[in-house]
């Protein structure tokens, strides 16, 4: 029969690479813990309306990239293309807004976008993200950015740069939209079909278009930062103050608009050289727009696959997890059963142990122990069972250590 392949745009996480994924996820979770954040997990699919209202129907994600289908009840469902809208929906539905604020959440989740497969972009990818609900203070903008920088530094990235921008709010955005439309009007006929649709609904989305001709048209467009209201300008100035307090260098990049409609006020991107590894910002109106109370929010996301690729491109050697501490070989049926029990006694104490499940010869067992990188090996036979004594061989130099089968703690001390 013909071999079945994985779908285009997806990738298998293989056993030999699991330590890379665990390294990124565990580092992210460890930093989240120091910021007093709690984990949230949301379903892999949501009602399509959530993303139409939350992400925005003029975004590339909604217009071009969502995996949407009808279920057997003819309800429109979508595999989640990003983590923020589902987190907001869960925040509202479970009435977390009634708890003491701010609510500080993190998640690690698969996401799905139908887009051109290229280096660093997959149709199923995995994202680490945080969302902080309830605070309008600029200090929390600074904390979110500091969190992202801390994670990236802890992971081992060196060449990091932070770009920030001010996207204004619904009060000042209309003035900017009018100025932008006036600028784009003379080149309207040269815009791509998608951007022509956006011209009336949401002209700011045109700035995020990936089409070359649209990029050329918008390169000298008016900048939103010149049109923001006093409140937004004051907020942004205070965000910069908090970044200065933490000695986090930044550059103001008026060209950042991000690819989502929900952002307001502060947005940011963190680059490793010229490669974006993290992005996020404020979205103070989404909770209300999705049926919750009027509450501000801010967050960011970073892709796990992209992070691993970036670390490897930098030549960073991701630390491997603990090796197998002990391989237990055996000679004879009684010794094999004893090794089976002995291994599980050691495992119950947190020691990484492997035994012979393949009926290998003694010589083949030792080759296998070497192949899987066991730090120590031992062979159980009749003499060892009778005397309750074993010899532990350290594989890197061949040194022999003696131990008692009855003294589990001493054996653990030796192999660790």
- DSSP string for 357-376: -S---HHHHHHHHHHTT-SE
Give the count of beta carbons closer than 10 Å to the beta carbon of residue 35.
16
The fold of the 326-415 domain, in CATH, is Rossmann fold (3.40.50)
Residue 403 is given by DSSP the state E
Q: What is the pLDDT of residues 222-242, one digit of tens each?
A: 988 899 999 999 999 999 999
What is the overall mean pLDDT for the chain?
93
Give the count of beta carbons closer than 10 Å to the beta carbon of residue 146.
16
The distance from CA 185 to its chain's CA centroid, rounded to whole angstroms, is 39
- Let me know: does 32 contact 132? Beta carbons within 8 Å: no
Q: At 138, which helix (H) or strand (E)?
A: helix 138-155
Q: What is the pLDDT of residues 2-16, one digit of tens each?
A: 999 999 999 999 999
The distance from CA 88 to its chain's CA centroid, rounded to whole angstroms, is 17
Report which of 103, 104, 105, 54 is spatially closest to residue 81, judged by C-alpha positions: 54
Q: What is the pLDDT of residues 168-200, one digit of tens each?
A: 998 988 888 899 999 999 888 899 988 888 888
115 is in an annotated binding site: no
The fold of the 15-168+251-313 domain, in CATH, is BirA Bifunctional Protein; domain 2 (3.30.930)
Q: What is the pLDDT of residues 34-46, one digit of tens each?
A: 999 999 999 999 9
- Segment 345-353 mean pLDDT: 95
- Segment 107-112 mean pLDDT: 97
Which DSSP string corresponds to 240-298?
HHHHHHTT---EE-TT---S-TT-EEEEEEEEETTEEEEEEEE-TTHHHHTTS-S--EE
Q: What is the pLDDT of residues 365-387, one digit of tens each?
A: 999 999 999 999 999 999 999 99
Q: pTM for the full model?
A: 0.89
Q: How confident is the model at residue 117 (pLDDT cuts 50, 70, 90)?
A: confident
Phi, psi of 310 (to 5 degrees): -65, -45
260 pLDDT exceeds 70?
no
In angstroms, how far apart are the furthest CA atoms of the chain? 93
Q: Please give the pLDDT value at position 66.
A: 95
Report which of 260, 252, 247 is spatially closest to residue 208, judged by C-alpha positions: 260
Q: How confident is the model at residue 115 (pLDDT cuts 50, 70, 90)?
A: confident
262 is in an annotated binding site: yes
Lowest-pLDDT choice from 156-165, 206-215, 355-364, 405-414: 206-215
- Let me know: does 227 contact 168? Beta carbons within 8 Å: yes
- Segment 119-126 mean pLDDT: 87
Q: Please give the pLDDT value at position 167.
A: 92
Of residues 177 and 67, the one with the higher pLDDT is 67
- Let me know: does 115 contact 65? Beta carbons within 8 Å: yes
113 is in an annotated binding site: yes
Q: How far apart are the first and last CA of the chain?
A: 47
Q: What is the pLDDT of residues 71-89, one digit of tens each?
A: 999 999 999 999 999 999 9
- Segment 379-408 mean pLDDT: 93
Of residues 117 and 141, the one with the higher pLDDT is 141
- Segment 105-131 mean pLDDT: 91
- Segment 66-70 mean pLDDT: 96
Q: Please give the pLDDT value at position 62.
A: 86
Q: Please give the pLDDT value at position 97.
A: 97
Give the count of beta carbons closer than 10 Å to the beta carbon of residue 7.
8
- Segment 295-301 mean pLDDT: 97
Q: Please give the pLDDT value at position 281.
A: 96
303 is in an annotated binding site: no
List, by residue range, all CATH 3.40.50.800 domains of the chain: 326-415
176 is in an annotated binding site: no
200 is in an annotated binding site: no
Of the ranges 144-148, 199-203, 411-415, which is most confident? 144-148
263 is in an annotated binding site: yes
- Segment 195-208 mean pLDDT: 84
Q: How far apart are CA 176 and CA 316, in angstroms?
A: 43
List, by residue range, all CATH 3.30.930.10 domains of the chain: 15-168+251-313
259 pLDDT exceeds 80?
no
Q: What is the bridge-based pairing of β-strands 389-394 and 45-47?
A: unpaired
């Amino acid at each position: 029969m013909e071999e079945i392949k994985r779908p285009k745009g997806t990738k298998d996480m293989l056993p030999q690479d699991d330590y890379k994924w665990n390294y990124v996820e565990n580092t992210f979770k460890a930093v989240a813990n120091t910021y007093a954040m709690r984990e949230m997990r949301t379903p892999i699919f949501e009602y399509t309306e959530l993303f139409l209202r939350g992400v925005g129907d003029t975004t590339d994600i909604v217009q071009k990239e969502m995996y949407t289908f009808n279920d057997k009840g003819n309800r429109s469902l979508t595999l989640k293309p990003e983590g923020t809208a589902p987190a907001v929906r869960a925040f509202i539905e479970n009435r977390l807004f009634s708890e003491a604020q701010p609510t500080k959440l993190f998640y690690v989740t698969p996401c799905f976008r139908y887009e051109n497969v290229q280096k660093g972009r997959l149709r199923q990818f995995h994202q680490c993200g945080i969302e902080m609900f309830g605070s309008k203070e600029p200090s929390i903008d600074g904390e979110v950015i500091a969190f992202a920088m801390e994670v990236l530094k802890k992971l081992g990235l060196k060449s990091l740069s932070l770009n920030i921008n001010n996207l204004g709010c619904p009060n000042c955005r209309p003035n900017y939209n009018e100025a932008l439309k006036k600028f784009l009007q003379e080149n309207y006929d040269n815009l791509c079909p998608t951007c022509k649709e956006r011209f009336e609904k949401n002209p700011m989305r045109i700035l995020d278009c990936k089409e070359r001709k649209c990029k050329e048209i918008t390169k000298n467009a008016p900048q939103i930062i010149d049109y923001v209201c006093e409140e937004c300008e004051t907020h942004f100035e205070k965000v910069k103050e908090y970044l200065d307090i933490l000695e986090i260098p930044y550059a103001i990049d008026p060209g950042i608009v991000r690819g989502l409609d929900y952002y307001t006020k502060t947005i940011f991107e963190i680059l490793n050289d010229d490669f974006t590894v993290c992005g996020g910002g404020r979205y103070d109106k989404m909770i209300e727009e999705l049926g919750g109370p009027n509450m501000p929010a801010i967050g960011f996301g970073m892709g796990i696959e992209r992070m691993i690729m970036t670390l490897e491109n930098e030549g960073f050697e991701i630390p491997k997890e603990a090796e197998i501490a002990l391989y237990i070989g055996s000679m004879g049926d009684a010794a094999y059963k004893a090794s089976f029990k002995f291994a599980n006694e050691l495992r119950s104490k947190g020691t990484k142990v492997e035994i012979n499940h393949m009926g290998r010869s003694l010589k083949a067992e030792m080759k296998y122990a070497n192949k899987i990188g066991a730090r120590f090996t031992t062979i159980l036979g009749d003499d060892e069972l009778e005397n309750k004594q074993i010899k532990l061989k350290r594989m890197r130099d061949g040194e022999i250590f003696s131990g008692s089968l009855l003294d589990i703690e001493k054996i653990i001390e030796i192999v660790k």
